[in-house]
């Protein structure tokens, strides 16, 4: 199953770009900055990797990792908001985009698992 050029792939790529763009000018906060960059960009990387999965199980596995990275990204956004590292409206926008990607990932996983059970 290909996800390249899908809304999910496109939105996760843009989300990664948004994370990098907003975090680039942040000074200090080394661990937090590194963690949000790693988790936020890993979502799209795992989605992209899923398209090259060698089996349906591998595809599902990669998307499940992307869901976990979404959850971790949500945690770091909470920390960033609570610590006042980024403006609340920026965090709100990033959280909205992350939630949308997570919903799409879960829907994709449910659809794929349903198709796998029918075989």
3-state secondary structure 66-103: HHHHHHHHHHHHHHHHHCCCCCHHHHHHHHHHHHHHHH
Query: How confident is the model over 39-85, as pLDDT tens digits?
Result: 999 999 999 999 888 899 999 999 999 999 999 999 999 999 999 99
Query: How confident is the model over 22-35, as pLDDT tens digits?
Result: 999 999 889 999 99
Q: What is the CATH number of the domain that holds 21?
A: 1.20.1440.60
Q: Per the domain annotation, does 37 fall within a domain?
A: yes
Q: How many domains does the chain contain in total?
A: 1
In terms of residue numbers, what domain contains 86? Answer: 7-118
Residue given tokens 């900055």 in the structure block: 33
pLDDT tier for residue 5 given thresholds of 50, 70 and 90:
confident
Angstrom distance (rounded) from CA 112 to CA 84: 39
Q: Per the domain annotation, does 2 fall within a domain?
A: no
Q: Per the domain annotation, does 1 fall within a domain?
A: no
């Amino acid at each position: 199953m290909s996800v390249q050029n899908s809304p999910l792939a496109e939105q996760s790529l843009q989300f990664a770009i948004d994370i990098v763009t907003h975090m680039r000018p942040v000074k200090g906060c080394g661990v937090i900055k590194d963690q949000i960059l790693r988790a936020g960009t890993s979502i799209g990387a795992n989605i992209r990797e899923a398209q090259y999965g060698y089996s349906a199980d591998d595809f599902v596995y990669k998307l499940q990792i992307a869901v976990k990275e979404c959850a971790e990204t949500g945690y770091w956004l909470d920390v960033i908001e609570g610590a006042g590292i980024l403006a609340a409206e920026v965090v709100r926008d990033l959280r909205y985009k992350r939630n949308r990607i997570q919903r799409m990932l879960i829907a994709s996983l449910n659809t794929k698992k349903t198709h796998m059970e029918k075989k």
